[in-house]
C-alpha cells in the first residue's frame, strides 16, 4: 500500500535554533493515491506569537494558550508518522523545525521525505511564475482558502503532489530524498 503523510507547520519565525517555535502541525494522509484524512493541531509555544505571525497565520496567543506544548504533541506525532514518507512543500523548512525539536526530545528524526517544491523544479510541464505553494495552487486551480494555516496548506500540498506526480511520472527512489543534515 502506498502511504504518505503530508506535513505543514506554522511557526513563530524562521529558525528553531534562534528559539522560533512550532505553533501548528497540519497533516493530510494519502493512501493509494487518495486523500483520506486532513487535520491540524495547535501547539502552545513557550514564548509569545508576534503580531506579524498572527497577521500571516491568523493564529493568536489566545488560540494556543490552553493547547499542549511541543513536548507532549511531538512524541505522538512522531509515533504516528512512523516510517512513512513525509511530503512537504519546501520540506527543508518543515524538517528543519521538526528534526530540531525531535532531537531536543531524543526522538528519531525524519529522513525520508518528498518535497513538492523540488518536484515542481523537475516538472517540465509547470509554467508558473515561481515555485511558491500559492502560485502552484493558482496554476493548477487548487483551492487553498486558508493559506498559512497548516490544515489548508497540507491539503493543497497533497493535491499538488498527486497532480505533479502524474505529470512527471510515478515517484521512484530518485524523487525521494533522504537528508541527514536537515
pLDDT tens digit sequence for 53-99: 999 999 999 999 999 999 999 999 999 999 999 999 999 999 999 99
Indicate if the pLDDT at residue 180 is higher than 50. no
Indicate if the pLDDT at residue 158 is higher than 80. yes
Q: Determine which helix (DSSP H) or strand (DSSP E) holds 25, and give its type and residue range.
A: strand 22-31
Q: What is the DSSP letter of 2?
A: -
Contact 30, 40 (CB under 8 A): no
Q: Which three cell numbers stand for residue 159?
A: 493535491
Q: Can you tell me the distance from the alpha carbon of 65 to that of 149, in angstroms, rounded to the nearest whole number?
A: 17
Q: What does the pLDDT average to over 142-157?
A: 93
Confidence of residue 104 (pLDDT cuts 50, 70, 90): very high
Contact 87, 131 (CB under 8 A): no
CATH of domain 3-169: 3.30.420.10
Indicate if the pLDDT at residue 179 is higher than 70. no
154, β-bridge pairs: none
Q: Report the predicted TM-score, pTM, of the whole model to 2 decimal places.
A: 0.92
Contacts of 102 (CB under 8 A, 6+ apart): 74, 78, 108, 109, 110
Amino acid at each position: 500500500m502506498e502511504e504518505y503523510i503530508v506535513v505543514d507547520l506554522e511557526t513563530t519565525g524562521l529558525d528553531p535554533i534562534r528559539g522560533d517555535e512550532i505553533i501548528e502541525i497540519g497533516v493530510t494522509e494519502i493512501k493509494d493515491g487518495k486523500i483520506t484524512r486532513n487535520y491540524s493541531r495547535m501547539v502552545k509555544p513557550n514564548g509569545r506569537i508576534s503580531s506579524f505571525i498572527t497577521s500571516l497565520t491568523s493564529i493568536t496567543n489566545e488560540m494556543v494558550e490552553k493547547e499542549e506544548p511541543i513536548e507532549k504533541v511531538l512524541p505522538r506525532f512522531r509515533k504516528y508518522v512512523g516510517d512513512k514518507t513525509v511530503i512537504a512543500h519546501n520540506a527543508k523548512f518543515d524538517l528543519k523545525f521538526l528534526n530540531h525539536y525531535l532531537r531536543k526530545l531524543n526522538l528519531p528524526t525524519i529522513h525520508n521525505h518528498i518535497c513538492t517544491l523540488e518536484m515542481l523544479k523537475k516538472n517540465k510541464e509547470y509554467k508558473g511564475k515561481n515555485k511558491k505553494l500559492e502560485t502552484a495552487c493558482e496554476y493548477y486551480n487548487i483551492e487553498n482558502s486558508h493559506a498559512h494555516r497548516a490544515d489548508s496548506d497540507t491539503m493543497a500540498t497533497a493535491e499538488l503532489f498527486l497532480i505533479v506526480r502524474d505529470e512527471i511520472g510515478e515517484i521512484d527512489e530518485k524523487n525521494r530524498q533522504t537528508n541527514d543534515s536537515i
